[in-house]
Structure 1
Amino acid sequence: MTTKLNARIGEVTERIAQRSRPSRQVYLARIDAAIANKPARKRLGCANFAHGFAACAAGDKEALREGTGPNLAIVTAYNDMLSAHQPYARFPDLIKEAARAAGGTAQVAGGVPAMCDGVTQGEKGMELSLFSRDVIALSTAVALSHDMFDAAVYLGICDKIVPGLLIGALSFGHLPAVFLPAGPMPSGLPNDEKSKVRQLFAEGKATRADLLAAEAEAYHAPGTCTFYGTANTNQMLMEIMGLHLPGSSFINPNTPLRDALTMLGVKRALAITALGNQFAPIGRIIDERAIVNGVVGLNATGGSTNLTIHLVAMAAAAGIALRWEDFADLAEVTPLLTRIYPNGKADVNHFHAAGGMGLLIRELLGAGLLHGDAQTVWGDLDDYAVEPHLDAEGAVAWTPAPAESGDRSVLRGAGDPFQPTGGLRVLEGPLGRAVIKTSAVAPERHTIEAPARVFHSQEELHAAFRAGELNRDFVAVVRFQGPKAIGMPELHKLMPPLGVLQDRGHRVALVTDGRMSGASGKVPSAIHVTPEAAAGGAIGKIRNGDVIRLDAPAGRLEVMVADDVWARRPHAEADLSASHVGVGRELFSVFRGAVGSADEGAAIFPTV
């Protein structure tokens, strides 16, 4: 495609490139220094090398010992407790088979942890969730540190796993990398029906048995949860940023097409090593154009707010300085093209059936909103306006994305969007900076002005709700939830009671230094407030009754307190010791001490 690039897209990309030039040059120099035109393992000492192939099957051992073919690292987030990652049990054998057929070898280089926010939601373990991303990055680096590999494939899906894998992969930016998705589970109980049962339970109108039955109908099989939260936003990003094969993100697990795409991804990873003529290291693919393409995709689909943190950290791992103002400026020219729960009733299977990633990418390319010349593992992004299928011989083939959406209530073209601007806004004001996801919020609720009710935990808010204290207009301020305080857990359990109160006609909103992810839904929520309360942020000065004004259209987050009163007011304190022990939290004190702010990626690694 040759559509002229939108001027704002070009301006923001250039701004990021200029801002990043010193750190990006250092990063690329490091990649260049690590690149070799023969396998790095050939430089290992004999004892080191022998350890590296000792457990291989006979044919693979001979190929590694004597041959010059490529060796592929498998870095896997497999476990069989989590539905999204259970399908990966079969992948190593498929990958090794495909590698041998392509003249190479493959080894499971290492595993990374994969925790599920759905399991830990509202529980103590959620306070490890965000930090697990950086643990995954560190684990990826350990897996690749043996220097036995010419390329890598990464098996991961969910919230922190893909960002952690990508950060780790970029630390080995000289190696080509292909991300292999496992796909979403088939559709179960519709997400809006599940949400209704959750609200009825919050009101005491449904039993625990009713709630469990609904949840089990929604989450019922191997594969990713089907709502458009962080896991599926990750998959969209990996495709639009060029690390998936075209059209591979949302093919269901354990199907012939899924297996064929997996094996083709392996073949492609081996084809783009430094040993051949199509060398494509991941550190070159993830450049400023890829990052901007990712932010555009996030806005165009109303994706998870978690990515306003993760994309900053992922970009930094490639020496690229991404800022929240870049998200905001790109949102202003990016139309919202999808309605997937919680921004609509459909799930990702419906999105895929309506035209999916191929149609989405084609529409954004046609509107000049993506860098079509951005390098990918398959060629350029221009090659991604397609959808895959199996031909008569069972091989993967592609056809152009459909000319029209199969369901305009789910996916639309750029000429007729659901709304003219993206689903994310950055808020600023005397309380600091925050992010709000507006794509699921009714327009008449984009501005809320009401008295504050301050809480230091989700449990405090639930207790006040059960006591009938919240039947009025108010802004819930839930603070001391940031990364330095308690690891920045997601606060999904706030949504049922706040949703109930909103449905009763009250004007309610949330302001927090915690996270809400892709399920922030219909209640206006200013999240990721930074500086956080535990770092002395102004959110710590709010008192019950202070009037808070959340104005998404204007991009403002205000507290209506006289300047002299505000200046004299002391900062609140909170005893967080109970959140620093138990379920392993005591092991993460070094993370809480070292972590950066949300707008810098909430990472323990250096920022740019």
Structure 2
Amino acid sequence: MTLHPTLIAVTERVRQRSADTRGDYLARIEEATRRWPVARAGLGCTNLAHGYAAAPAGDKIWLRQQRAPNLAIVSAYNDMLSAHQPLQAYPEWLKEAAREVGATAQFAGGVPAMCDGVTQGQPGMELSLFSRDVIAMSTAVALSHNMFDAALCLGVCDKIVPGLLIGALAFGHLPTIFVPAGPMTSGLSNDEKARIRQRHAAGEIGEEALLAAEEQAYHGPGTCTFYGTANSNQMLMEIMGLHLPGTAFINPGTPLREALTRAAARRVAQLVRTGSQYTPVGHVVDERAVVNGIVGLLATGGSTNHTLHLVAMARAAGIVIDWDDFDALSAVVPLLARVYPNGSADVNAFHAAGGMAFLIRELLQAGLVHGDVRTAMGEGLAAYTRQPVLRDGRLEWVEAPAVSGDPAVLATAAQPFSADGGLRVLQGNLGRAVIKVSAVKPAHRVVEAPAIVFNDQTELGDAYRRGELNRDFVAVVRGQGPQANGMPELHALTPPLANLQDQGFRVALVTDGRMSGASGKVPAAIHVTPECVTGGPLGKVRTGDLIRLDAEQGTLQALVAEAEWAARTSDVAPDPAHAAGMGRDLFAGMRRSVSSAEAGATTFGWSLG
């Protein structure tokens, strides 16, 4: 296999940019390994007695002797959220599996798990992005007792997996495997769900019909089946070597799901410091794995949220990436998956067509990912071209199918759906932004129209319902960045803007906020940086200004006379209405300290910018 020259160039650029920070990070891992070759060795008798006081008698013997590996279980379980409800049974399975190989496991701690689907358009959504950093800190607290030789991280959705990984990387000397729950079975098709939402936004159907459709779409345990941030997380954990192969998209409640969960405990027990296969998570997540993650995101048309999360996850391992890295790789990485919102299929159809094993094999053969990486399987990325199966109750891995089971859903690198990954950087006098065009038809990728300025998504929705938006325009929704109000997703904008585009109007969105992994067919320049409340130029836009969004040329411009533009100042300040209520007052310090979107929108000091 010959690696693509762009892959080589971007990886080398990242390596050079990260030389100092990565070196410091690896030195910390080495120091932790030197000081604590066996977990619990540095604890006094009182510490130890506290650490296993409630353990079963058999486990106590092993924990006291300090010879058997002790695994930390960190879980995002709650029974309100469908994606995390299946995790309830996992701790006992993992403990039983650990004992089978002479190890112990303890439930080290829980982390919060909130759902953007529940909080969309609600005040609680303004806590969502910051919950990632809370989860990272909660993971660190769970692992802080120095009782553990390895970790199992149980989580699925939007901020949860990035937070778990950031927290785990703070303990980069520990081997860590991620253990997901899988997607729910298919219900109402995503196309039909979107159609009904648009009809509701247009006032054609009422709340009862909308709720009935939503209940058909979200109907049981497991992750939402569209390819948003939650399922993009699962893709990332797999292509970065942090799952067991083929784990991402197995439905919950199946024998295979349980077998893979148990296998994760047995496998991570083999990766500990005292064994011959020591594989700390801080060595798995290196420059090559991070670049592989970007490639996987592009090849599948994954969530735009990972232009924030992947930046923050990489930085937690001392690796510095930016949007130019995404843009450069997007130019050469073909789109190999058509999963809603980039197509009509869901992730179950993607998995049935060959899924991650087929995709990774295609990328390896095309020289578009690094195969010589460390993974949870210890065999390089080639191990991830195999799929798990149960044969007579035994878990085995078999090669991915030779051909796609559905060429309309999963393509080859030789005949992709698109020659590029569809994620692009826009820049101009409005700042820098990202746009996902894999679901945007070419005819809609360049929009030049007058701006209509809104201060939140509710204002736009109200104007739409009053019939004031039946024209060509660029919606500028400002004051939605991380410092302003926590950068909530603006998913409620999708149905009205999609309706207007369907009616023949040329419309686009420009915002310093987020649109989530569900970003669809309307061109949307999102994450505009610098954000408005920090003086970003988007705050200088006035209603009536001509705006040009050109996703083909990568530009985002206010077509205003240069002298007039230079004389203007941003008039956007944080809205006091977003400062308190529904817990928002507790996050004031995070709003003040958060970094820019391109720096990962994180509150940790190593990523200020």
Amino acid at match of 2:358: L
Checking the alignment, whether the CA contact within 8 Å between 2:386 and 2:398 is kept in structure 1 is yes
1:537 is aligned to 536
Structure 1, residues 455-512: CA drift from partner, whole Å, max 9, x if none?
0011100111011110000000000000000000000000111011111100000000
2:43 is aligned to 44
Structure 1, residues 382-406: CA drift from partner, whole Å, max 9, x if none?
11111110112x1211111111101
**In 2, Cα distance between the equivalents of 1:104 and 1:383?**
25
Q: Where does 1:397-408 land on structure 2 (aligned, <5 Å)?
A: 397-408=396-407
1:503 is aligned to 502
1:8 is aligned to 6
In the TM superposition, residue 28 of structure 1 has moved relative to its aligned partner by 0.2
1:31 is aligned to 29
Checking the alignment, whether the CA contact within 8 Å between 1:39 and 1:148 is kept in structure 2 is no
Q: Where does 1:313-328 land on structure 2 (aligned, <5 Å)?
A: 313-328=312-327
Q: Where does 1:80-99 land on structure 2 (aligned, <5 Å)?
A: 80-99=79-98
In the TM superposition, residue 573 of structure 1 has moved relative to its aligned partner by 2.9
Q: Which runs of 4+ in 1 moved over 4 A?
A: none
**In 2, Cα distance between the equivalents of 1:251 and 1:532?**
39
1:470 is aligned to 469
Q: Where does 1:583-602 land on structure 2 (aligned, <5 Å)?
A: 583-602=582-601
Amino acid at match of 1:59: G
Amino acid at match of 1:448: V
Checking the alignment, whether the CA contact within 8 Å between 1:301 and 1:423 is kept in structure 2 is no
**In 2, Cα distance between the equivalents of 1:49 and 1:258?**
34
TM-score under structure 2 length normalisation: 0.99
Verify: 1:266 aligned to 2:265, yes or no: yes
1:198 is aligned to 197
Amino acid at match of 1:332: A
Distance 1:289 1:515, change over 3 A: same
2:18 to 17, 20, 27: 20
Distance 1:198 1:187, change over 3 A: same
**In 2, Cα distance between the equivalents of 1:477 and 1:549?**
12
Checking the alignment, whether the CA contact within 8 Å between 2:108 and 2:142 is kept in structure 1 is yes
In the TM superposition, residue 574 of structure 1 has moved relative to its aligned partner by 4.2
**In 1, Cα distance between the equivalents of 2:569 and 2:443?**
35
1:101 is aligned to 100
Q: Where does 1:165-184 land on structure 2 (aligned, <5 Å)?
A: 165-184=164-183
Checking the alignment, whether the CA contact within 8 Å between 2:323 and 2:598 is kept in structure 1 is yes
Amino acid at match of 1:16: V
Amino acid at match of 1:9: L
Structure 1, residues 235-278: CA drift from partner, whole Å, max 9, x if none?
00000000001111000001110111111111110000001000
Greater Cα shift, 381-390 or 362-371: 381-390
Amino acid at match of 2:481: G
1:223 is aligned to 222
SS in 2 for 1:451: strand
In the TM superposition, residue 66 of structure 1 has moved relative to its aligned partner by 2.2
SS in 2 for 1:600: coil
In the TM superposition, residue 342 of structure 1 has moved relative to its aligned partner by 0.6
**Structure 2: unaligned runs, 5 residues or longer:** none
SS in 2 for 1:179: strand
**In 2, Cα distance between the equivalents of 1:566 and 1:587?**
37
Checking the alignment, whether the CA contact within 8 Å between 2:109 and 2:142 is kept in structure 1 is yes
Amino acid at match of 1:245: L
**In 1, Cα distance between the equivalents of 2:382 and 2:552?**
33
% identity of equivalent residues: 64
Checking the alignment, whether the CA contact within 8 Å between 2:114 and 2:128 is kept in structure 1 is yes
Greater Cα shift, 504-513 or 60-69: 60-69
Q: Where does 1:67-466 land on structure 2 (aligned, <5 Å)?
A: 67-379=66-378, 380-392=380-392, 394-466=393-465
Checking the alignment, whether the CA contact within 8 Å between 1:313 and 1:607 is kept in structure 2 is no
SS in 1 for 2:174: coil
Greater Cα shift, 570-579 or 244-253: 570-579
**In 2, Cα distance between the equivalents of 1:67 and 1:590?**
41
**In 2, Cα distance between the equivalents of 1:270 and 1:118?**
35
Checking the alignment, whether the CA contact within 8 Å between 1:337 and 1:414 is kept in structure 2 is yes
Amino acid at match of 2:207: R
Amino acid at match of 1:387: Q
In the TM superposition, residue 65 of structure 1 has moved relative to its aligned partner by 1.0
**In 2, Cα distance between the equivalents of 1:395 and 1:544?**
64
In the TM superposition, residue 40 of structure 1 has moved relative to its aligned partner by 2.5
User: For the aligned residues, what is the CA RMSD?
Assistant: 0.8
**In 1, Cα distance between the equivalents of 2:606 and 2:448?**
35
Amino acid at match of 1:596: S
**In 2, Cα distance between the equivalents of 1:5 and 1:343?**
27
Checking the alignment, whether the CA contact within 8 Å between 1:365 and 1:372 is kept in structure 2 is yes
In the TM superposition, residue 158 of structure 1 has moved relative to its aligned partner by 0.2
**In 2, Cα distance between the equivalents of 1:255 and 1:417?**
32
Amino acid at match of 1:27: Y
Checking the alignment, whether the CA contact within 8 Å between 2:362 and 2:413 is kept in structure 1 is yes
Q: Where does 1:554-569 land on structure 2 (aligned, <5 Å)?
A: 554-569=553-568
Checking the alignment, whether the CA contact within 8 Å between 2:154 and 2:179 is kept in structure 1 is yes
Amino acid at match of 1:388: P
**Structure 1: unaligned runs, 5 residues or longer:** none
**In 1, Cα distance between the equivalents of 2:182 and 2:14?**
32
Amino acid at match of 1:209: E
SS in 2 for 1:477: strand
Verify: 1:481 aligned to 2:480, yes or no: yes
**In 1, Cα distance between the equivalents of 2:174 and 2:482?**
31
Amino acid at match of 1:288: E
In the TM superposition, residue 409 of structure 1 has moved relative to its aligned partner by 0.7
Amino acid at match of 2:352: A
